[in-house]
Structure 1
Amino acid sequence: MLKSMTGYGNATVEENNLSVTAEVKTLNSKFLDIYCRLPRQFSDKEIELRSLLTQQLERGKVELSINLTRSSGLKPGVVINRPMVAAYVSDLKETANGMLMSVSDSDVLQLALQQPNAYLTESLDTSADTSDWTTILTAIQEAIRRCDAFRKQDGAILEGKFQEYIQTITDRLADIEEQDIRRIPAVRERMRNSVKELLDNESFDQNRFEQELVYYVEKFDISEEKVRLKNHLAYFLEVLATEEANGKKLNFISQEIGREINTIGSKANDAAIQRFVVQMKDELEKIKEQTMNVI
C-alpha cells in the first residue's frame, strides 16, 4: 500500500479542565525532518515526541504544534516570579530617586516584568503535569492517526495514477512493436544495399563485410530492449501492489524503464517509433515526479 508524504491531521481532547488541540502536517522531504512547537513547560518531552513521530510517520517534513486552553480559575503554567520582580521594582525606584527622576509605580512594574527571570515556567504541581501530558499525548496520537489516514488516502490516488501511466507506456510499447514489423523491411533493404556496395567493390574486404553486418544488426535490432522494458513495467506493477511498496524502490525501477526507452529511441531510427518514445518519456517523467511524493 502506497503512502503519500503529504498529509494533515488534527485532534482536540478535553479532560480535567484542559483542552488540547494537536495538529500534524507533513510535506515532501528526502529525509525525515521534524519540527515541534510545544508549550514551554513540556519542552523536555520533545525527544519522546520525535521518537513517536519517527516510528509512525517514517519520512517527510513533519510539523507538530500543540495548543493548550485551560478553564478559568486554574493557575497558568507560567507564573510571575514575585520575589525577583519585587527586587527589580525596589532597585528601579532607588535608581530613579538617585537620578532625581519621577516615575509612576505602574511604569516601574511594567519595566520590572520585562527583566530576566521575571517569570517561572516550572510547573507548581507535578501530578497535574503528568495528567496534562497524558491528555496531550492522547491528542497527539489521534492527530498522527488522522494524518496517516490522510497519507493512505492520498497514496491510493497516487497508485491509480501510477497504473494509468504504466498502462500508457505499455500501450505505446505495443504500438512500437507493430511499427517495428513495418520497419524491418526498410532496414533489411538498407542492409542489402550496403552489402551490394561492398560486393561490387573490387577491394572487397571480408573482415569489413562482417563488421558491417554486425554493426547494422546491433544498431537497429530492439528486440532485447522491448523484452526488458516489458519486464520492468510488469515489475513496477508487481511492486506497486505489495505492502512494501515505497517511493525509492519505484524510482529505481522507473530509472531502468527510462534506460530501455532511451535505447529504443536511439536504435530504432524510425520517425513513428520516435514519436511513441517521446510519449513514453512524458509518462515516465510523471512517474518520477510522483515517486518523490511517496514514502
Structure 2
Amino acid sequence: MIRSMTGFGRGHASTEDASATVEIQSTNKRHLNIFVHLPDPLPEAESDVRMQMKEAFERGQFDVNVSAELKGADTLPVDVDADAAMHHKRRLEQLAAAAQIEAPIRIDHLLEFEDIFAGEEEREAAKIQRAWPAVTQALDAAIDDLQAMRREEGDALRDDLERRTRAIDEHLDAIEARAPARVEERQAQLRDRLGALLDDEHLDADRLETEMALLADKLDVTEECVRLHSHLKMFREALDADEPSGRKLKFITQEIHREANTIGAKADDETISREAVEMKEEIEKIKEQIRNVE
C-alpha cells in the first residue's frame, strides 16, 4: 500500500473543560518537517503534538493548526489552589480550637494567605491540563482524517504507476522482439560492405566472423532487458509493501531509467529507438508521481 504525501485532515473534540479543533495540511517533502501553530495557553504542548505526528507519519511537510477554547466563562481571573486553601482553613480551625475561639473561619481570613492563589506558571499549567484532553482527541481525529485522504490519493497514484509500468513492459517486449532481427540485419550489411570492397579470394573469413561477433556484442541489449524486467518486478513489489516505500521506489526508478538509457544508446535501429524514447517518457512521468509518495 502506498500513500500520497499531500492531503488535508480536520478533527474536532469537546470535553467538560474545553473544546478544540485541529487542522493538518501536508505536502510532499524528502524528510519529515512539522510546523505546529498553537494558541495561548498551549505553546508548552508543542512537543507533545510533534510526538503524535512523528508516530503517525514518515515523510512530508505538515502544518498543524490548533485552536482551543476553555469552557466556563464564570471562572475567576486567577486560579485558586484548593489544596492550599483547605490546608490553611484546617490550621486556622486548629488555632481557634487551641485558643478556645468559637468564631467561624471567614473568607477574609483565608485571603491573608497569598499561596492559595496559583502563580502565572501554575495558572498556565492548569489551562494546558484542562485543554489538552480535547486537543489530543481532536489531533487524533485530524490525523485519521488526513491518513484516510493520503491513502485514497495513494490508491490513485498506485493505479497510475501500475498502468505506466505495464506500458514500459509493452515497449520492452517490442524491443526484445525486434533485437535479434536487428543484429542479423547489421551483420548482413557488414558482410555486404566488406564483400564489395574486397575480392572474394582476399576476404579473411575468420576476420569477418570476428567482426560480426563484435558487432553482435555491441548491439546486444539482452542484459539490459533482463535487468529492466527485474527492476520492474521490484518496483511492483515495493508498491505492495506495507511500509512507506517512496524512497525505495525513487531508487528503483533511477535504475530503470539507467537501463532504458543504455538500450536507447545501443539501439542503432529506428524501431528500438522509438520504443526506448516512449519508454523513457513513461519513466519521467513515474518520477514525477513518486515525488508525492510517502
The answer to whether the superposition gives a TM-score over 0.5 is: yes
Aligned-partner Cα distance in 2 for 1:270–1:77: 84
Query: In 2 relative to 1, CA 147–189 (structure 1 residues): closer, same or farther, beyond 3 Å?
Result: same
Rg larger for: 2
Task: Give 3-state SS (helix, strand or coil) of 1:29's partner.
Answer: coil
Q: Which amino acid aligns with 1:64?
A: V
Matches within 5 A, 1:1-295: 1-16=1-16, 18-71=18-71, 73-75=73-75, 122=121, 124=123, 126-196=125-195, 200=199, 212-244=211-243, 246-295=245-294
Q: Give 1:172 shift.
A: 1.1
Indicate the larger mover: 172-181 or 149-158: 172-181
Contact 1:198 1:204 in 2 (8 A): no
Aligned-partner Cα distance in 1 for 2:2–2:156: 9
Q: Give 1:293 shift.
A: 0.7
Normalised by the length of structure 2, the TM-score is: 0.77
**Residue 84 of structure 1 corresponds to which residue in structure 2?**
none
Contact 1:123 1:129 in 2 (8 A): no
Q: Give 1:129 shift.
A: 3.2
Q: Give 1:165 shift.
A: 0.4
Contact 1:12 1:139 in 2 (8 A): yes
Aligned-partner Cα distance in 1 for 2:255–2:165: 13
Q: What residue ranges of structure 2 are gaps of 5+ in the alignment?
A: 80-118
Task: Give 3-state SS (helix, strand or coil) of 1:269's partner.
Answer: coil
Q: Which amino acid aligns with 1:285?
A: E
Q: Which amino acid aligns with 1:186?
A: E
Aligned residue pairs, count: 255
Indicate the larger mover: 202-211 or 166-175: 202-211
CA offset digits 1:90-109 (Å, max 9, x no partner): xxxxxxxxxxxxxxxxxxxx
Query: In 2 relative to 1, CA 66–199 (structure 1 residues): closer, same or farther, beyond 3 Å?
Result: same
Q: Give 1:292 shift.
A: 1.0
Contact 2:191 2:208 in 1 (8 A): no
Q: Give 1:131 shift.
A: 2.7
Aligned-partner Cα distance in 2 for 1:161–1:77: 58
Query: In 2 relative to 1, CA 135–44 (structure 1 residues): closer, same or farther, beyond 3 Å?
Result: same
The percentage of aligned residue pairs carrying the same residue is 34
Q: What residue ranges of structure 1 are gaps of 5+ in the alignment?
A: 80-119
Q: CA RMSD in A?
A: 2.9
Query: In 2 relative to 1, CA 65–123 (structure 1 residues): closer, same or farther, beyond 3 Å?
Result: farther
Aligned-partner Cα distance in 1 for 2:238–2:124: 53
Normalised by the length of structure 1, the TM-score is: 0.76
Q: Give 1:77 shift.
A: 8.9
Contact 1:41 1:123 in 2 (8 A): no
Query: In 2 relative to 1, CA 244–211 (structure 1 residues): closer, same or farther, beyond 3 Å?
Result: farther
